[in-house]
Structure 1
Amino acid sequence: MSKHEGLARDSLGTLESIVMGVAGTAPAFSVAVTTATIVAAVGVLSVGSILYCGLIMFGITLAFIHLSKITPNAGAAYAWVGHVFGPRWGFFAGWGLLVASVFFMVSATIPAATSTLVLLAPHLVDSTHWVAGTAALWLTAVTLVVTRGIKHSSYTQLTLTVFETAILLALIIGAFIKYSDAPMHPPSMIWISPVSFTPQVFATGALTAIFFFWGWDVTMNLSEESRSNQTGAGGAAGVGAFWSVLNMMLFFTIMMVVVLIALNDQDIANADTNILLAVATKLFPAPWNYLAVFCTIVSTVGTIETQILQFSRSMFAMARDRMLHPVYAQVHPEWQTPWMATIVIWGLGMLLLFTSSYMPSVKEILQSSILAIGFQICFYMSLAGFACAWHYRKKLRSGPRRAISYVLWPALSATFMVFIALYSIPTFDTLTNVMGAGGLLIGFIPLLLNERRFGRQVIRSSRP
């Protein structure tokens, strides 16, 4: 196998980067897997939670775009936080993403599995063993596509995203036509009013809402494989991140309104991960309503693919810098992908799926993994926000626009994420705390082992 200098450079343009960012947030998947959880937590204030979390996430997006100007790096947050605050902080920024990605292999593949069983064997949908087994098949299939090369991945994403977008637009238009006069939940300014939120309600809704937006930063992990002709904008990767997050802010807010006007609270609770099917069934006759099931499967496959890309590139970059064992920096000589790191997330995902098959219900698996992932997202993204604000602190004297874009917005977003994470810890059950905080603390083991093996390392590749 080749050494690490083998990623396929200049493979992704702006359009492909935008598609990757949209696919990373997985519109249909995010709505399907998270809506029941957030509505159960904060009710109609779900709309405001998503809107305000979108504004918070956009501040983090600006941080990633500006930090990418230091140098394109497959490690993204790991490399740039390490450049600003030192290698240990960089390591834990990368570790937070790695752990969240592994848990995501459960919360992402399960909706694909349940949707598949809805089509093929509806009586098995509530069986955790059958769901986990079907999820394992999906994980294996997607891993094979990702391992074959970044171009294969981008072509797959483009096809899946076009199909997904067409179905979701049909659902949005159909819902507003049918329920504009008699909505299940009458729209109100209360849904987005800041005074409707207490600190606890905001933190509870925000931790789940953050899960909606997570995944766009895969574009930044692909920055070494993206074109860099857009000077000053972070290259194609930065442009892709910018537009994908803006589009998703608009889409998720509208889609939450669609769910609330089309379904009552009991419908939402009963639908669980099949929320799009529940909406489609209200709008379209069979078998056309089952296009929503295909939409969920397509979106889920897309986000599994992007998350494997994100994990493998982060692990590759960390191993390249000897913050993890160098074996994970191996790149396939023909496909130019970090194949060892890709196999790692496949193996860990299979292990977690096997373990989750013994949990009492599919719903419990999803709720615990979503909250734990939300905590870890807050951790590593807040580090990136603070790193951007500190690195560009001199921009405070460069005029209001630069001060807000480079320093104030990223810093405020990072502060909100810290608040959300800390405020939520006491509300977690033991399993969620073990998965969320415990998953981060385990990072001390590989960090100390590699420091002992190689000595204290400087993050070489993140230096200008």
Structure 2
Amino acid sequence: MSTVTRSDDPPAAAPGKGLRPGSVGLLASVTLGLSSVAPAYSIAVTLGFVTVVAGDAAPAALLLGFVPILLTAFAFRELNRELPDCGTTFVWTTRAFGPIAGWLSGGWVVQCATLIAMTALARIGATYLLGLLGLTGAAGNGAVVTAVAVLLLGGATVLARRGLQLAAVVQYALLGLQLLALLAFGVAALAADGATAPSLGWLNPLGFDGFGPFAEAVILCLYIYWGWDALITANEETVDSARTPGRAAVLSTLVLLATYLFTAFAAISFAGVGSEGAGLGSPENAADVLATLAPAVLGGGLAKVVQLAVCVSAVSALLTCLVGSSRATLSMASHGALPGRFARLHPRHGTPAFGAAFFGAAAAVVLVLLTLLSADFLGDAILSVGLLIALYYGVTGLACVWYFRRTLRDSARHLLFRGVLPLAGGLMMIAAFARTARDMVDPGYGSTSLGGVGGVFLLGAGSILLGAVLTLLARARFRPFFRTGRDSVAGPTVKDH
């Protein structure tokens, strides 16, 4: 049975929604944040493309791409300290800009990006798993890969429904394997005969051949860091929910930066940035630089460990996506912005079981449909996620400034961490959104086009337009939220457990 409560003077922290408080510590939060990024997978499939664009300035691109991510992390930290709600961007954007912006940017855009990313993660995990099992023929069969990917989605959904403690234990092992594999690869690459000495010049922000390559490389790097914010959705289950998730967000982004820079320096030292042979500048190697370099660096046996690390990287990120999305929709439902069934918790495990099952099933359906359409269509859908990321990160940074606007003069700390840094991060993300949208219009961007317009742009912009239409439908369906949500969203308006 549902009960409805409203408050014109919401508390600083939202009352509990039935989740288990204090069940996640700082280490588990950082692990969830890192796992959601899939560091081994992300560096494997992104470093080559960045190097093709930036050459030996690839580490500089990684560093510059990290700047708006760090600034956005400060916005997440400050907003979570004030409003520790598992709805995160949905709650914060609603409080700052109103229910329409909150539902569209903080709700739909985030979940749409996550859903598309889940299809990619499941497919990559399935492909690597089949390869590890020696089933190379099956790994090249789209139907078999899709079937295995659906099974992986099912297994991750079961784990997500069981609770954060079990998910965190699994993530410790999976993340540990990823980081150890990357460390072993990096050390071996730097110590290999013929490897060149790393140069600080590779971090030179002026080493790009014009603004175009600079912007393209930095935009590519935004995707490589995306996902750490999933840890914030576990804030109501975290020890010291007002502070621990924010600290974990900043710490996880710094660990990612160190991991990526170390791997990039090692790979460039070993292979160089040439466009032939094993060079990182070769388009043939760009899709997976670790698969290309690991056998030469580590030998066949240990190269399998790196391959396994990339596989579990994708699977662990898949699990974290399910954990984060189910909690975000739990918050939206508890505030009256989604059907009450999303707010129901598992009677034994105390998890948003319906939300986890919904997103697991939805990802499976989307994966099958995109695969049936074409592999090119699926690839362009994945590329379009960058547009969605830049939008909701940018809006969140601006929401932080607007929400705290009356307190920015209270102290130098407030001015810096609630004003200057989030504003800079938000504007950078909006600029990245505009630049990415302009580039995606080109029919040569990605693999598909329609009417002379790039398919990646149509998918990205179409996702946002569809979200706007759904927001209007939601406004008609959930009138109380859209009427009073800006004032009442700090406390649940609907409970249906």
Same fold? TM cut 0.5: yes
Distance of 2:477 and 2:59 partners within structure 1: 49
Instruction: Give 1:359 deviation, angstroms.
Output: 5.7
Contact 1:73 1:221 (8 Å CA) reproduced? yes
Instruction: Give 1:221 deviation, angstroms.
Output: 0.8
Contact 2:49 2:287 (8 Å CA) reproduced? no
- Residues 267-346 of structure 1 mapped to structure 2, 5 A cutoff: 267=278, 268=280, 269-271=283-285, 273-346=287-360
Instruction: Give 1:279 deviation, angstroms.
Output: 2.3
- Residues 407-422 of structure 1 mapped to structure 2, 5 A cutoff: 407-422=419-434
Distance of 1:433 and 1:235 partners within structure 2: 38
Paired residue total: 456
Matched to 1:103, the amino acid is: I
Larger displacement relative to structure 2 (151-160 or 111-120): 111-120
- The residue that corresponds to 1:237 in the other structure is 245
Question: Which of 118, 136, 139 does residue 131 from structure 2 map onto?
Answer: 118
- The residue that corresponds to 2:484 in the other structure is 458
- The residue that corresponds to 2:268 in the other structure is 260
1:403-455 CA deviation, whole Å, 9 max, x = no partner? Answer: 22221111111111111111121321432123212112211233222221231
Matched to 2:115, the amino acid is: V
Larger displacement relative to structure 2 (18-27 or 186-195): 186-195
- The residue that corresponds to 2:451 in the other structure is none
Q: Give the structure-1-normalised TM-score.
A: 0.91
- The residue that corresponds to 1:143 in the other structure is 157
Q: Structure 2, unaligned stretches of length 5 or more?
A: 4-15, 444-453, 493-497
- Residues 165-204 of structure 1 mapped to structure 2, 5 A cutoff: 165-178=179-192, 181-182=195-196, 187=199, 189=201, 192-194=204-206, 196=208, 198-204=210-216
Instruction: Give 1:307 deviation, angstroms.
Output: 1.1
Larger displacement relative to structure 2 (374-383 or 424-433): 424-433
Q: CA RMSD in A?
A: 2.5
Matched to 2:132, the amino acid is: L
Matched to 1:328, the amino acid is: F
Distance of 1:203 and 1:10 partners within structure 2: 42
Contact 2:57 2:207 (8 Å CA) reproduced? no
Distance of 2:191 and 2:218 partners within structure 1: 30
Would the alpha carbon gap of residues 172 and 90 (structure 1) be closer, same or farther in structure 2, given more than 3 Å must change? same
Does structure 1 residue 54 correspond to structure 2 residue 79? no
- The residue that corresponds to 2:23 in the other structure is 11
Identity %: 23
Question: Which of 464, 468, 475 does residue 444 from structure 1 map onto?
Answer: 468
Contact 1:163 1:295 (8 Å CA) reproduced? yes
Q: Give the structure-2-normalised TM-score.
A: 0.85
Contact 2:54 2:209 (8 Å CA) reproduced? no
Does structure 1 residue 107 correspond to structure 2 residue 120? yes
Give the 3-state SS of the residue equivalent to 1:82 in structure 2.
helix
Distance of 1:126 and 1:135 partners within structure 2: 13
Larger displacement relative to structure 2 (53-62 or 434-443): 434-443
Instruction: Give 1:342 deviation, angstroms.
Output: 1.3
Would the alpha carbon gap of residues 258 and 458 (structure 1) be closer, same or farther in structure 2, given more than 3 Å must change? farther
Give the 3-state SS of the residue equivalent to 2:284 in structure 1.
helix
Distance of 1:216 and 1:96 partners within structure 2: 16
Instruction: Give 1:42 deviation, angstroms.
Output: 3.7
Higher helix proportion: 1
1:117-161 CA deviation, whole Å, 9 max, x = no partner? Answer: 222212333333332222222111111111111111111111211
Give the 3-state SS of the residue equivalent to 2:82 in structure 1.
coil
- The residue that corresponds to 1:433 in the other structure is 457
Larger displacement relative to structure 2 (93-102 or 443-452): 443-452
Matched to 2:155, the amino acid is: A
Does structure 1 residue 355 correspond to structure 2 residue 369? yes
Would the alpha carbon gap of residues 453 and 359 (structure 1) be closer, same or farther in structure 2, given more than 3 Å must change? closer
- Residues 384-399 of structure 1 mapped to structure 2, 5 A cutoff: 384-394=396-406, 396-398=408-410
Contact 2:138 2:144 (8 Å CA) reproduced? yes
